[in-house]
Amino acid sequence: MQQKTHRWFTRSLVGLASVALSMTMVVADSSIARADEPSPTDPTTRPVVEESPTPDSSETPGTATPTQSPSGSPTAEPTSAQPSPDEASAEAEPAGVLENSLKDTSPSPLFAGENGELTARFGENQPGVEVWGEVWLPWANRWSRTASVRTDRTGQAKVALTWNPIAGTQRWRATARLIDGSLRSTPEVTIRRAAAIAQQPKGAEPGQDVTLSGTFDVAQRLSITPEVWIPSLNRWSRAATTTTAANGSFSVQLTWSKEHHGTQTWRVAAQLPDGRVVHTNETSVLRRRKPSVSRLRTLTVGQGAWTWGNFQTSEPITVWGEVWRTDVQDWSRSASVRSASDGDYSININFDIHRQGTQRWRIAGRHADGTIQYTDEFSVVRRPRPTVSKPRVLPARYPMHTFGNFPTDQPITYWGEVWRTDGQGWSRTAQYSTSRDGDYTLDLSYGNEHAGTLRWRIAGRYPDGSVVYTDEFTVHRTSPMHPSCMTGRVMCATKDDNRLWWVVNGQILESLEARFGKPGMDTREGMHTVKWKSRYHTSSIYNVYMPYAMFFNGGQAVHYSPGFAATGHIGAGSAGCINVRDEPAIARIYDQVRVGDRVFVYR
């Protein structure tokens, strides 16, 4: 009787019923976990990763100690005794062997982000047994345990699968601490969480469509709804519902508020066949504002140009210009530059600058996500350069003008600019208006009281605000002309300034560079008259060609000199004649001068 009582006590201590092994994964309601149970998805409540003690399978809990005989030696039960049915059942179980199970009645699949459960049972009707879950950490090569729970009166315990609920597979088991303090674990189970992924779309501009692609890792069609976060309402707003492909992949257009620039947060919700709703990861959609570019004003042929603007970015990006090539009917790229970190850029646009006409340009920038943005197209207009007449060399105090043309089909404002004699920059004249077709004239009166040379240019402002300049030119004034030259018809020659003027009634009609006789063969000074003329004259003394000869003092004449035209003032001078090097001008004078007209030579 004493032996039966002892076996009954032992069996009640370790009497754990045999059950089948299965696994349960169910969506866990937050109310299932205990208030003090850590949640792996919350950084503030993530369970401490601690090493789980490994159960010692060689230790058999609940092993009965044999009773001792009066002599002190262990004694076994008589082999002839016939146990009762209860006793036979107890003896059929190896002493101390624990049978355990995990039961699976949950919906499938379990998605990333969802919390599931394992329902573990260690024997029957064993309430209050401490149980915890354990997950295998491959990188640490060990098990880590979750918070503990207690078995209910039926011997079951629910272990929450809250640790790191990301997509993929995990190895789990449940471990119990028995009444005698020993540890026993269930067989391992593999938990797989399906992925719900939304890919990061590239940036776009306001008005452009953005496609959000991704997949739900299930081999079936699902009803899905894109959702966008509305900060002003502090909630998600749903777009139109659609379906995935048969393999769970999707591609949806994100059209909400697409006309505005800025960043939106999107996700996609899917309804599973069991009614659960799962979401993809959140992803941002950036609609960058249109990049800016400065509008170029009118340019002239040969004039280089730059443009500048800004791309919406927080880091430097690659920027280049593109010009439309009419010869190949395609865009051609310029060299690339790097923007500033805030997106500011400047770039030259100097393709084919010596050709007049209109070019189509745009500026492109490549963002870090590979998106290429373009500015609006803009035109680069190159007009022909404005013209300006080169003023003649005239004596001081004599009026001087220049004239030219600005290519235009409407009047524009123009003015002259002269480089100040003190070197302190350009000084402007009064402003005037061109004719409708751009013709202009300008009085160059600045500094006309003194002999010397001044730099000038003419500026014109087009309707678009661009200011275009003529080429620079020089204005050279000699000493004042002798009063004897201011009346009648006279060829007036000054040796000091090497000039010959054809003057009629005080008006200078022609101004020519002149060369006079060399020492010992000086050109005779004073007032003379034209005695005779010879258009194609050749010297009988020197056998040299003297076209347009107008003789005024014996063999001395005013004439064109091919040698002077070729070499200028190299050499000592002429044999006494007044040489000129401007053949068209002397030809005009020759046609106008009459025999008897005066020739006045002075220093």
CA distances to 215, 265, 431 from 236, rounded to whole Å, are 20, 9, 65
Q: What's the N-to-C CA distance of the chain in angstroms?
A: 162
SS (H, E, C) 112-138: CCCCEEEEEEECCCCCCCEEEEEEEEC
Find the DSSP H helices in 64-125: 85-92
Rounded distance, CA 278 to CA 267, Å? 10
CA distance 291 to 338: 15
Within 10 angstroms of residue 22's Cβ, the number of other Cβ atoms is: 12
Q: Which of 485, 492, 537, 577 is catalytic?
A: 577
Q: Which residues contact 400 (CB under 8 A, 6 or more apart)?
A: 391, 392, 394, 443, 444, 445, 448, 475, 477
Structure-block tokens of residue 567: 């070499």
CA atoms within 13 Å, Cβ hemisphere of 571: 14
Query: What backbone torsions phi and psi does residue 81 show, to the nearest 5 degrees?
Result: -70, 140
Tokens in use for 327? 């010869």
Helices 2-14 and 85-92 cross at an angle (nearest 10°) of 50
Of the candidates 279, 367, 528, 559, the residue annotated as catalytic is: 559
Lookup: tokens for 38: 């850590």
In 3D space, the residue among 45, 315, 331, 267 whose CA is nearest the CA of residue 160 turns out to be 45
Whether 559 sits among the annotated catalytic residues: the reply is yes
The C-alpha atoms of residue 555 and residue 77 are separated, in whole angstroms, by 168
Strands 189-194 and 110-111, by their bridges, are: parallel
CB 58 within 8 A of CB 184: no
How far is 29 from 431, CA to CA, in rounded Å?
85
Q: Tell me how far apart the alpha carbons of residues 308 and 363 are, in angstroms, rounded to a whole number.
A: 9
Tokens coding 92: 């059929």
**Residue whose C-alpha is closest to residue 264's, from 181, 336, 340, 198:** 198
CA distance 380 to 361: 7
Task: Say if residue 138 is preceded by a cis peptide, omega within 30 of 0.
Answer: no
Query: Which of these, 569, 491, 562, 566, lies nearest to 533 by C-alpha position?
Result: 491
| Contact of 384 with 354, CB cutoff 8 Å | no
Q: Quick check: is 482 catalytic?
A: no
Q: Catalytic residue numbers?
A: 559, 577
